[in-house]
């Protein structure tokens, strides 16, 4: 179905719904991710693709990735020497935040304990983006969001980001820095020199930079966490990928870009992780711009549409043993984390696909390669239920604590010790806890039909209750395109009272209007 949409209806599905959060946080949706489909979006995306996210530009930031990887490995090494416990979740989050901060703004925002205040602000932004806004589904109830404090919280976070950006801009001007050292400086320089085809205001540039943080921090750290969790759950896979990494690198003290290019099985591991645990399982919602017909069903315009990549990636008609972690299934695929048949879409698809895929993958591959090269990892009891550990909002996070241990590889201890002139390390395994990030809706509990339309009168409270009980909500129901497929591939929502109907049997679809079937 996704293939049909991309081939025949991509333009009709290329718009974004206008939400309260996106309008406030992204300066009237003048970023790239949430901008309405049109000329401004095309030009803004072109700027990102041609000026910020080219392969040359991604490679130019390799020294930043190397620095953050070095810092992360050093923290683990020191903790191992001292026998201290390490919060790996926090460590991966800080590394992701710092890498994005330095790439986008040219600096880190760490306080004394190493935590990024800017990263914490980014987390607040993400949480607010996932918060249900009553006014988005019930326009005449926007006042409810004002009373509950959501609107003021959105404006507060937006103002704090404003302060950060304005401060950085003034610092760059006062230092008379003319170098192209980060995305923010690059965009400002292009704007001031009149080299952009689209007239980007300072607020437009801020909105684009915010995209980098929203798309690149939490999703990256979450993917890193799931990679490590799956490898520890599958020790044979870990041994195989460690053997590849260590054979490629040899006894060198540092992994370079050429080494990473030869680590094909490592890339398969990351692809398989993204298949089972896509960072954004329902992708970023889209909005239809015209009435279209798919599979015999009429879909009105102005409908909010979610594409369930989590379900698509587990379709038993496409994937053999879809619930199992088998990296070998990607050994004959290309390296671009895409699929020509659209059965694999961790970074979206079509015109609205993620333009920062290469940037994100480069850091993930680099950090995982180093974690597996320098250290050996394992679970204390060798058992973990990955299914029961998923917790989702817009992103799939780990819900439960993952207790694991690591030790410096005996074959790497001399090299790692010589890097910092530390002798006689203690190689005792150190306990690591991947701390819970909250508990919301588990993906494994979703039981939506392939395509549904929920009338605007259905309350969010009922929706949450129904979803949590794995209940089927029917506005107008289209049967699954695959009889063996238990999960939906598309969920359509709309704040307007129109009905998705089967053109072959309109009266039947109307009998389901607003009904809830358990």
Structure tokens of 152? 């003021």
pLDDT digits 0-9 by tens, 83-102: 777 788 888 888 998 898 88
Nearest to 313 by CA among 471, 468, 485, 451: 485
The whole-number average pLDDT for the span 264-284 is 94
Look over the chain and give the mean of its residue pLDDT values, rounded to a whole number. 76
pLDDT at 5: 87
- List, in sequence order, every beta strand (DSSP E) within 393-514: 396-398, 402-408, 430-434, 453-454, 472-474, 490-493, 501-502
- List, in sequence order, every beta strand (DSSP E) within 277-327: 286-287, 292-294, 297-299, 304-307
pLDDT at 214: 82
Q: What CA–CA distance (Å, rounded) separates 200 from 491?
A: 34
Task: Compute the half-sphere exposure of residue 512: CA atoms within 13 Å on the CB side of its CA.
Answer: 20
Is it the case that residue 431 has pLDDT exceeding 60?
Answer: no
**Residue 17 burial by CB count (10 A; 0-12/13-18/19+): exposed, middle or buried?**
buried
Contact at 8 Å (CB) between 118 and 101? yes
The whole-number average pLDDT for the span 130-149 is 92
Domains in the chain, start-ordered, CATH in brackets? 2-443 (1.10.630.10)
pLDDT at 502: 39
Is it the case that residue 488 has pLDDT exceeding 80?
Answer: no
Q: Which of 152-156, 306-310, 377-381 has the lowest mean pLDDT?
A: 377-381
Total Cβ atoms within 10 A of residue 149: 10
Q: What CA–CA distance (Å, rounded) separates 228 from 249?
A: 20
Q: What CA–CA distance (Å, rounded) separates 494 from 480?
A: 20
- pLDDT band (50, 70, 90) for residue 504: very low
Longest dimension (CA), the chain: 79
Q: Which of 1-10, 20-29, 194-203, 505-514 has the lowest mean pLDDT?
A: 505-514
Total Cβ atoms within 10 A of residue 121: 17
Nearest to 61 by CA among 186, 222, 173, 210: 186
pLDDT digits 0-9 by tens, 34-81: 999 999 999 999 999 988 888 888 888 899 999 999 999 999 998 888
Nearest to 308 by CA among 212, 230, 392: 392
pLDDT at 490: 63
**516 sits in which H/E element:** strand 515-517
Structure tokens of 29? 């949706």
pLDDT at 457: 33
What is the gyration radius of the CA atoms in the chain, in angstroms?
24
pLDDT digits 0-9 by tens, 205-258: 999 999 988 888 888 989 999 999 999 999 999 999 999 999 999 988 889 989
* Most confidently modeled range among 11-20, 290-299, 474-483: 11-20
- pLDDT band (50, 70, 90) for residue 179: low
pLDDT at 81: 82
**411 sits in which H/E element:** none
Give Cα separations from 260 to 3, 20, 369, 489 (angstroms).
Answer: 32, 42, 8, 34
pLDDT at 1: 77
Q: What CA–CA distance (Å, rounded) separates 491 from 469?
A: 17
**310 sits in which H/E element:** helix 309-312
Q: What CA–CA distance (Å, rounded) separates 400 from 379?
A: 14
Collect contacts of 157-161 with beta carbons under 8 A, ≥24 apart. Answer: 157/25, 157/121, 157/124, 157/125, 157/128, 158/24, 158/25, 158/27, 160/121, 161/25, 161/121, 161/125, 161/206, 161/210
SS (H, E, C) 44-88: HHHHHHHHHCCHHHHHHCHHHHHHHHHHHHHHHHHHHHHCCCECH
Q: What CA–CA distance (Å, rounded) separates 457 from 138?
A: 8
- The response to whether 354 counts as a known ligand-binding position is yes
**16 sits in which H/E element:** none
Collapsing DSSP to helix, strand or coil, 183 comes out as helix
pLDDT at 190: 86
pLDDT at 451: 30
Q: Which residues are CB-neighbours of 493 under 8 A, at least 6 positions away?
A: 137, 285, 303, 304, 305, 306, 453, 454
**Residue 300 burial by CB count (10 A; 0-12/13-18/19+): exposed, middle or buried?**
middle
pLDDT at 197: 80
pLDDT at 509: 34
Is it the case that residue 335 has pLDDT exceeding 90?
Answer: no
Backbone angles phi, psi at 312, to 5 degrees: -60, -40
pLDDT digits 0-9 by tens, 377-424: 887 665 555 554 555 445 554 555 455 667 777 666 556 655 554 433
| Sheet with 297-299, edge to edge strand ranges | 292-294, 297-299, 501-502
The DSSP bridge partners found for residue 473 are 516
CA end-to-end distance (rounded Å), the chain: 26
Contact at 8 Å (CB) between 135 and 20? yes
Structure tokens of 267? 């890339």
């Amino acid at each position: 179905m996704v293939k049909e949409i991309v081939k025949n209806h991509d333009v009709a599905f290329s718009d974004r719904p206008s939400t309260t959060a996106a309008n406030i946080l992204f300066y009237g949706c003048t970023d790239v991710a949430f901008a309405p489909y049109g000329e401004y979006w095309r030009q803004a995306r072109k700027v990102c693709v041609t000026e910020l996210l080219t392969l040359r530009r991604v490679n130019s930031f390799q020294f930043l990735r190397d620095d953050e990887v070095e810092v992360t490995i050093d923290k683990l090494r020191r903790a191992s020497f001292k026998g201290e416990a390490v919060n790996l979740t926090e460590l991966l989050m800080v590394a992701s935040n710092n890498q994005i901060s330095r790439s986008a703004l040219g600096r880190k925002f760490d306080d004394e304990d190493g935590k990024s205040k800017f990263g914490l602000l980014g987390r607040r932004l993400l949480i607010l983006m996932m918060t249900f806004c009553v006014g988005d589904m019930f326009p005449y109830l926007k006042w409810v969001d004002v009373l509950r404090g959501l609107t003021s919280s959105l404006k507060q976070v937006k103002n704090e980001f404003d302060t950060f950006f304005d401060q950085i801009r003034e610092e760059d001007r006062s230092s008379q820095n003319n170098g192209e050292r980060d995305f923010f400086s690059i965009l400002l320089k292009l704007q001031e020199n009149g080299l952009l085809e689209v007239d980007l205001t300072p607020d437009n540039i801020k909105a684009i930079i915010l995209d980098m943080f929203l798309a690149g921090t939490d999703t990256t750290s979450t993917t890193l966490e799931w990679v490590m969790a799956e490898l520890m759950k599958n020790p044979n896979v870990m041994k195989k990928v460690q053997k590849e990494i260590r054979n490629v690198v040899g006894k060198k003290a540092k992994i370079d870009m050429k080494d990473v290019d030869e680590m094909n099985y490592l890339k398969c591991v990351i692809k398989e992780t993204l298949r089972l645990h896509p960072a954004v399982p329902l992708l970023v919602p889209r909005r239809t711009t015209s009435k279209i017909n798919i599979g015999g069903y009429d879909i009105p315009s102005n409908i909010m549409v979610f594409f369930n990549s989590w379900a698509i990636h587990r379709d038993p008609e496409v994937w053999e043993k879809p619930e199992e972690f088998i990296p070998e299934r990607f050994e004959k695929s290309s390296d671009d984390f895409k699929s020509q048949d659209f059965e694999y879409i961790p970074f979206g698809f079509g015109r609205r696909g993620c333009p920062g895929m290469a940037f994100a993958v480069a850091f993930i591959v680099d950090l995982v390669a180093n974690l597996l090269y320098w250290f050996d990892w394992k679970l204390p009891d060798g058992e973990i239920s990955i299914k029961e550990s998923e917790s989702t909002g817009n992103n799939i996070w780990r819900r439960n604590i993952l207790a694991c241990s690591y030790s410096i590889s005996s074959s790497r201890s001399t090299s790692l010790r010589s890097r910092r002139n530390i002798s006689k390390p203690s190689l005792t395994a150190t306990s690591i806890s991947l701390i819970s990030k909250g508990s919301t809706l588990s993906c494994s509990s979703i039981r939506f039909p392939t395509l549904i339309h929920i009338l605007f009168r259905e309350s969010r409270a009922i929706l949450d209750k129904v979803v949590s009980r794995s209940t089927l909500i029917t506005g107008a129901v289209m049967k699954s395109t695959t009889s063996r497929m238990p999960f939906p591939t598309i969920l359509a929502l709309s704040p307007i009272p129109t009905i998705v109907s089967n053109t072959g049997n309109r009266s039947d679809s109307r009998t389901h209007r607003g009904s809830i079937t358990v």
